[in-house]
Structure 1
Amino acid sequence: MKWTRAVHYLRDLATTCAGLHERPNPIIRLAVVRLWAVGEVLGPVRDVERVTVALEVDLPVDEVPWRCEPAGAEHWGNATRLTRNPITPLWRSAHAPVWNHHVDRPALVWDREVGVDEEVLSALEEGRGDRVRLGTPPVEELRERLDAELAVSLRALRSRTLAYEDKRWKPGKLEPVADDLWRASEGYLDVLDAVTRLKSVT
């Protein structure tokens, strides 16, 4: 995908977020409060496969564990065309820092209090994302962030394992519960690997 197209998708999503905030849709219950650019789109101009974003939602931390989808995410994605575009969403709680080992120095594109940040989008279009990203956290702060993330992920893994066990032999589709368990497992293992890597270099 051409760079200009990638930034176009990001701008379009930011405009959609702003529109939903200004004109709420009663059918969409998930409240997205901030949109962040993550990963490749923060680098120099080049072709990219997908655009990665972090979407902060107004939900408790335990309802948005790493790599999991909060309640209403699928409906929100369909309503905003997120699922039809080459965008990878990373769902985050607005009640904890957005960044972690993977959401590395993101750039805030839209905030419900201040709107779309045109300066950030212009910087990304020009391949100057490094100038609008968050700063690098100290190692100790990163360690604390990952410890907190790991604890949330472990609680999610346990609760979703119990939900899977409870549903496994009952009538109805097992797929949604199994997918939730898989996402929680993936998230926990990803954070655990990050914690292990950090310990090996500090």
Structure 2
Amino acid sequence: MNWTRAVHHLTTLATTCADMATRPASIFPLRVDRLWAAGGVLGRPRELETITVALSVDVEEVPWRTEPSGSRHWAAAARLPQTPATAYWRSNHAPVWNHVLERPVLVWSVDGGVDEAALAAIGDGEGEALRPQAPSADELAERLAAELALSLRALRGGTDEYERRRWKPGKLEPVSDALWQASAGYLDLLDVIK
């Protein structure tokens, strides 16, 4: 997609996050508190396949590449599957950045609203100037080790849940999807650390 369209999708997603925050918690119990831009949309104007975003939620732990409970319902209401975006769910209780989400930029928060200045700078191809300082090699190694430990716990928990539910009545897809996500996240981190 062209640059203007990519920035349009990011802006639309930010305003959608703001709208979703006003919806009743009884209907959307998973609350997205922050939207971060990452990847190519923070660079110079050019063609992009997708925009990369992170959605921060108030869930204690969100292992890498997994979806917290309620995320699919929220995403469907926000029309996220129809957006050319690669979205990563992150916990508010841990740093949002890692080896993929390098120096992300906050573009919306429940407290501050849509950051029009950040979106304008990104649209002008000046997103790099908004990015925080890169972590040191030691900080990155520490962050990845914490992510790997969390992913391993999720992988073990998902394996146990799959084994427990495998032969019981009911749909196995949610359990198998969660196991696949935990596996993909763990293997991705393992590849980076080695």
Pairwise TM-score range, normalised by the shorter structure = over 0.9
1:184 corresponds, among 172, 182, 185, to 182
Q: Which residue of 2 aligns with 1:148?
A: 146
Deviation at residue 21 of structure 1 after TM alignment: 2.4
167-176 or 41-50, larger mean C-alpha shift: 167-176
Deviation at residue 47 of structure 1 after TM alignment: 1.1
Counterpart contact for 2:20–2:78, Cα < 8 Å: no
Distance 2:131 2:52 in 1: 14
Deviation readout 1:105-140 (Å, 9 max, x if unpaired): 111101111111111101111111111112100111
Q: Which residue of 1 aligns with 2:32?
A: 32
Q: In percent, how many aligned pairs have the same letter? A: 58
Q: Which residue of 2 aligns with 1:199?
A: none
Q: Does 1:113 align with 2:73?
A: no
Using the size of structure 1 for normalisation, the TM-score is 0.92
96-105 or 163-172, larger mean C-alpha shift: 163-172
Distance 2:191 2:121 in 1: 33
Deviation at residue 57 of structure 1 after TM alignment: 0.2
Distance 2:183 2:91 in 1: 18
Counterpart contact for 1:108–1:133, Cα < 8 Å: no
1:43-54 residue pairs with structure 2 within 5 A? 43-54=43-54
Counterpart contact for 1:7–1:125, Cα < 8 Å: yes
Could you tell me which amino acid in structure 1 is paired with residue 78 of structure 2? Answer: T
Deviation at residue 25 of structure 1 after TM alignment: 5.4
Deviation at residue 156 of structure 1 after TM alignment: 0.1
Q: Which residue of 2 aligns with 1:129?
A: 127
Using the size of structure 2 for normalisation, the TM-score is 0.96
- Show structure 2 runs of 5+ residues with no match: none
Q: Does 1:99 align with 2:97?
A: yes
Could you tell me which amino acid in structure 2 is paired with residue 11 of structure 1? Answer: T
- Show structure 1 runs of 5+ residues with no match: 197-202
| CA-based RMSD | 1.1
Q: Which residue of 2 aligns with 1:16?
A: 16
Deviation readout 1:54-103 (Å, 9 max, x if unpaired): 00000102xx1100000001000011111111111100000000001111
Could you tell me which amino acid in structure 2 is paired with residue 15 of structure 1? Answer: T
Equivalences, count: 194
1:160 corresponds, among 135, 143, 158, to 158
Could you tell me which amino acid in structure 2 is paired with residue 170 of structure 1? Answer: K
Distance 2:75 2:21 in 1: 15
Counterpart contact for 2:56–2:92, Cα < 8 Å: yes
Deviation at residue 174 of structure 1 after TM alignment: 1.7
Counterpart contact for 1:42–1:128, Cα < 8 Å: yes
Counterpart contact for 2:41–2:122, Cα < 8 Å: yes
Q: Which residue of 2 aligns with 1:139?
A: 137
Distance 1:118 1:54 in 2: 18
